[in-house]
Every structure is written in C-alpha cells, then in structure tokens.
Amino acid sequence: MISLNKLKKILTVTLLILTLAFAQVITNAQSAIADTATTPATATAAEVFSANCAGCHINGSNIIRRGKNLKQKALKKYGMDSIANISNLVTNGKGIMPAYKDRLSEKQIIDVSAYVLSQAEIDWK
C-alpha cells in the first residue's frame, strides 16, 4: 500500500511533467505558426502582439507561468519595466519563451515592447 506522502510526491512529479510537456507543446505550436505566417512590416504594435504574443500572454496574463505575466507589478519585479529590457527579452527569448529576432523586425520588437508597457500602465483594459 502506498503512503499518503508517497502518493502526494508522485502526483506532484506527474503534474510537473505534464506542465513541462504542455509548455513544450505550446512553444512548438508557436514556432510552427510563426514559421508559416509572417507578420507584415506595416502591422501595428497591437497586431504584432496579437499575432505573436497573445497565445501565451492574452490580456497581459501568462498561461504557462502565472507570476511571469505582463502586468505592471510583475514587469517591475523582474526588471522588465523598460522598452530596452522587454525588447532584449523579445529579441533573444529566455527559458521557454522563444526568441523573435528572426520573426520580427527590430522596429516591430521595439513597438511591441512599448505596447506592452502602455497596456501594463492601464492594466490591460
């Protein structure tokens, strides 16, 4: 018979594995979508965000890691409260977030970074 503590550990590990697998599926899906569709150079920052970011960050949230959202408090907490820092993250990616340097122009990255900051200021309304 399995003890309650052992069962909790098994469930915790299983949940972690499923979460990581889901994150990988989302990342792969985003890459596949981005590879087959290009964002027009004339797209607005909101359109660039919608086409490239909203899959994980709809309304400034984060469907993969809840705490690493695009709300003003989280942006400040993680040092992402400037266009330069957000642009660097979008350009190069980090962790499970993919890099967009090969998918978006430098101007689009800067514009979408400014868009994120402006939306955070109004709490993504």
Q: For residue range 83-118, list pLDDT tens digits in order.
A: 999 999 999 999 999 999 999 999 999 999 999 999
Res 34 pLDDT > 60? no
Is the pTM higher than 0.75? Answer: no
In the chain, the largest separation of any two C-alpha atoms, in whole Å, equals: 63
Mean pLDDT for the stretch of residues 37-45: 78
pLDDT at 38: 62
CATH numbers and ranges of domains, the chain: 4-121 (1.10.760.10)
Share of the chain above pLDDT 70, in %: 78
Mean pLDDT for the stretch of residues 49-71: 95
**CA-only gyration radius of the chain, Å:** 17
Mean pLDDT for the stretch of residues 30-42: 62
CB burial readout 38-55, b (16+ within 10 A) else e:
ebeeebebebbbebbbeb
Q: Which residues pair with 94 in a beta bridge?
A: 97
The answer to whether 123 touches 63, Cβ cutoff 8 Å, is no
pLDDT at 1: 79
Res 53 pLDDT > 50? yes
